[in-house]
Structure 1
């Protein structure tokens, strides 16, 4: 899908005021694309508009609210004529949750799911009709839907059940969307699964220096572009600490819990540490 990133194409990017979303907006601007950046952070949007230039539009949007998507839809109709070549559903939040103490508050779980999962559902339901209409009108029209997931939605590490559940649901939704659009040869779906990336959620907002291990958002976006050009659904990003082989071994082990009848989250249980260590030493 190399034709996505080209002059005069359009991009709508949620969570685009910082991190990976901002880096993706910068890439689109570099190709001469028309870009609409949506985010809830008003100050971030203001800063993004300054850094991205006059060719970029911004919209303050709460992706969990259907009415905000209605306003964004109106903007796309007015500014882009309903054309969307790249829909990047990237907005997400992190909030600590648990099943005891203050972090067990159901309202925190609900907020995480509302943004991380229903924010994707709202985006797809709002803009997929636009994309399909344009795609059906011309075989030359190319569009891509990029959905940001997380490795936590695949391997499910202990410590943050709401975030993990939201990203597991996002993975399932992206898979279903890809399948449902399988006959649409000029629409591709991609799930972006970053490794450790130096964003606000990962500690960049603290002001401390970036550690060696995480990738920058720009590195993630470059990797995404490469996989999009290959037409790949899965965009499983490594980082400077964890390579692709390590990621795949961890994912295979996690899937094996059900197949082998192990206790859930066995990778983190003391009684399986030796067996897991041996597994990681094996060749795939």
Structure 2
């Protein structure tokens, strides 16, 4: 497995989707500060322009090393055009962070457009990015990483936004398959990692709030945690926040798996017959 020092640094190239704000922008800043060439990818032109300026200010040579490319990651043709543009400019990619995500909200029998948009960006965007950039990252033979942004909602699947849960559950399954594929490929120097943020105050999660809630982490805190986890070679980068520690996350995940093992009703954590049992489980 490549170490972080061999992937990040001068003359190394990072491609970050969803880079116009939030975790993507914080990651792009962190990579630029480490001397990397950074390609910022987003479909919001105005925010992308501002993000490019912010990241460029951290680069020693922004004119050559920092570029922003407007792209719809849900569109395979757009992602293929992005890859051609990156190859023409930089020749290879050492870090791909598939981070673009949307959360318009959904209900099980709600508008089809919400389902199409969420699955298109949050799941297919990650699949498109990996399948388009991954083969070249393997072939160039240098240490490289693919980081996919998932969600705890893709693991414990709480009620309330099923399209988002389905997409993020798919990201988990896809990223696990990717990790297996890469480690099973002879002489492959590419590793896969699944970022699982906690409660992070970003435009995606703000929901009208103008100040960061006390319980939330900043995007920068999340990226710092991600960097530390990459240093350790973690695949599952399970982030805490100011409200939920790792021990609580572990119990919630274990309870969700227990629904299958113990043949409880699905989502029993929110079932009236199991609510008290879950509370007792958390206290153990």
Quickly name the TM-score band, shorter chain normalised: over 0.9
For 2:266 and 2:31, locate their aligned partners in 1 and report how far apart those are by CA, in whole Å: 41
Residue 143 of structure 1 corresponds to which residue in structure 2? 144
Of residues 127, 149, 158 in structure 2, which corresponds to 1:121? 127
Residue 218 of structure 2 corresponds to which residue in structure 1? 216
Deviations along 1:91-120, one digit per CA (max 9) or x if unpaired, are 0110211134xxx12232122111111101
**CA displacement at 1:206 relative to structure 2:** 3.6
Scaled by the length of structure 1, what TM-score is found?
0.93
Residue 59 of structure 2 corresponds to which residue in structure 1? none
For 1:276 and 1:12, locate their aligned partners in 2 and report how far apart those are by CA, in whole Å: 41
For 2:140 and 2:275, locate their aligned partners in 1 and report how far apart those are by CA, in whole Å: 52
For 1:98 and 1:216, locate their aligned partners in 2 and report how far apart those are by CA, in whole Å: 28
**Aligned residue pairs, count:** 272
**CA displacement at 1:185 relative to structure 2:** 5.3
Residue 134 of structure 1 corresponds to which residue in structure 2? 140
Of residues 66, 69, 86 in structure 2, which corresponds to 1:59? 69
**Secondary structure of residue in 1 paired with 2:276:** helix
**Secondary structure of residue in 1 paired with 2:242:** coil
Of residues 260, 273, 276 in structure 2, which corresponds to 1:274? 276
Segments of structure 2 that go 5 or more residues without pairing to the other structure are 57-61
Aligned-residue CA RMSD in angstroms? 1.2
**CA displacement at 1:235 relative to structure 2:** 0.1
* 1:89 and 2:98 correspond: yes
Residue 138 of structure 1 corresponds to which residue in structure 2? none
Which residues in structure 2 correspond to 1:221-240 (within 5 Å)? 221-240=223-242
Deviations along 1:173-197, one digit per CA (max 9) or x if unpaired, are 0000000111455211000000000
For 1:216 and 1:44, locate their aligned partners in 2 and report how far apart those are by CA, in whole Å: 18
Residue 196 of structure 1 corresponds to which residue in structure 2? 199
**Secondary structure of residue in 2 paired with 1:131:** helix
Scaled by the length of structure 2, what TM-score is found?
0.93
For 1:99 and 1:143, locate their aligned partners in 2 and report how far apart those are by CA, in whole Å: 39
For 2:87 and 2:13, locate their aligned partners in 1 and report how far apart those are by CA, in whole Å: 12
Residue 157 of structure 1 corresponds to which residue in structure 2? 158
For 1:207 and 1:238, locate their aligned partners in 2 and report how far apart those are by CA, in whole Å: 21
For 2:81 and 2:190, locate their aligned partners in 1 and report how far apart those are by CA, in whole Å: 24
For 1:185 and 1:231, locate their aligned partners in 2 and report how far apart those are by CA, in whole Å: 16
Q: Which moved more, 1:154-163 or 1:206-215?
A: 206-215
**Contact in 1 for aligned 2:138/2:189 (Cα 8 Å):** no
Residue 38 of structure 1 corresponds to which residue in structure 2? 41
For 1:230 and 1:239, locate their aligned partners in 2 and report how far apart those are by CA, in whole Å: 20
User: Which stretches of structure 1, 4 residues or more, deviate above 6 A after TM superposition?
Assistant: none
For 2:234 and 2:108, locate their aligned partners in 1 and report how far apart those are by CA, in whole Å: 37
**CA displacement at 1:278 relative to structure 2:** 0.8
